[in-house]
Amino acid sequence: MQNKVIPVYIFTGFLDSGKTTAIKDFITGMQEKHHKKTLLILCEEGEEEFDEDELAKQDVLIRSIEEESLFNYDYTLELENEADAECVVVEYNGMWNSNRPRVIWDPAQIMEIMLVDASTFDLYLSNLKALIADKIRTADIIMFNRCDDVRDSLPLYRRNARALNSKSAIVFRNSSGLIDFDPGDFLPYNPDADVIEIDDDSFAAFYIDATEKPDRYIGKEVVFTGMVLKAKAANDRSFLLGRIAMTCCSEDLSTFAFICDCDGDIVLNTDEWLSITCIMDKEHSEKYDVWHPVCKVTEIVRADPPEEKIINVT
C-alpha cells in the first residue's frame, strides 16, 4: 500500500495538561461530522486512559510508541497502513523533540495543538523555558486549560505565547468552557487615553497587541522610544523603529519593530535612539496577507539609549 497524504493532528503538551481529554473530544466531534478511519498514536501514558473497545467502534485503531527513536517515518507508515488510516491523531510526548513530526510528515499535513495547564504554566516557565518555548513556536493552536484561578495572569501568559508565535490561535478555557477574553482589558496602559505613552515596561504589550489588533489603535496618538533598526533608504519615507526583546532566555531574542512613515529629509542612522510621536494606522501586506500597524510620525526627538536596551516580554 502506498503512502497517502492524510491529515495529521499532533496534540502536544506536558503530562496532565489535558491532552487525553482534548483528543477524546476531538475524535468524537470529528467522527460525528466526518467519519474517518483513524490511527491514534500514543507516545506517553497519562492519568486518564482511552477506552480501546469504544474507540474501535468509531474506527479508531490505537497504537503506542514508547521510545522516541521508534517515532520515525518507516514505523508510522507501517501503522498508517495497518489502520488503513484516513486520519492520524498523535498524543505526543511532551519531552520529545518538537520538530520530529515534521520530519515524518509533510508540515502541510500537520495541525499541531498545544495543551497548557494554566495553573502550572508559571512553574514550567521558571524551570523549562527553552523546552516549552520550542513547543509554543511550532503550535498552530495553543489552548490554556484550567484558567479559573489564574485569570489575572492570562494577559502575561498570552503575551509570552504571542511573542514566541505570532501566528497561532490562542484559546483560554475554564471549567465551563471557553473564556471570553479581550487582552485589551488588561493592558499596562490605557488604550483610550488622549495620548498613549508607552514606556520600557509596556512596549512589549503594546507591540503584541497592536500587531494582533491594529484596529484598536487606528487614529490614536502614541508616544514611544525605540532604536532605529532599519534607517530610511534614499527617497524612502519609511524606517523601522523598535526594541530587542528577550522572549525566553538571554540567548532567545526577538525584534519588535514598527514601520514608521515620516515626511521631510531627516537623516536617521541605524542603531540610534529616537522618541517619536505618531498617529497609528494600518496597512495590508500582500506578501503575508495580513494587516499590520503603521506609525505615521508627527514628531521625532533624538534620545539617549536606555540603561536596559533589551526589554522583557514579561
Higher local confidence (pLDDT), 131 or 40: 40
In angstroms, rounded to a whole number, what is the distance separating the alpha carbons of residues 129 and 269? Answer: 35
Concatenated DSSP letters of 134-146: HHHHH-SEEEEE-
Written as one letter, the residue type at 308 is E
Q: Is the pLDDT of residue 243 over 90?
A: yes
Which of 189-198, 213-222, 263-272 has the least mean pLDDT? 263-272
Distances from the Cα of 307 to the Cαs of 96, 189, 223, 304, 311, in angstroms?
Answer: 39, 22, 19, 9, 10
Give the model's pLDDT for residue 234: 64
- 261: helix, strand or coil: strand
Please state the pTM of the whole predicted model. Answer: 0.81
Q: Which three cell numbers stand for residue 215?
A: 484596529
Q: Where do we find the cell 534620545? A: 303
- CB-neighbour burial class of residue 46 (10 A; exposed 0-12, middle 13-18, buried 19+): middle
- Domains of the chain plus CATH, in order, are 8-178 (3.40.50.300), 188-312 (2.40.50.140)
Quickly state the pLDDT bin for 249 (edges 50, 70, 90).
low
pLDDT category, 294, cuts 50, 70, 90?
A: very high
Can you tell me the distance from the alpha carbon of 63 to that of 88, in angstroms, rounded to the nearest whole number? Answer: 11
Highest-scoring range by mean pLDDT, 44-53, 231-240, 262-271, 273-282: 273-282
Question: What is residue 186's predicted lDDT score, i.e. its pLDDT?
Answer: 86
pLDDT band at 96 (very low <50, low <70, confident <90, very high): very high
Give the cell for residue 122: 508559571
Considering only CA atoms, which of 293, 279, 145 is closest in space to residue 212?
293
What pLDDT shows up at residue 176? 83
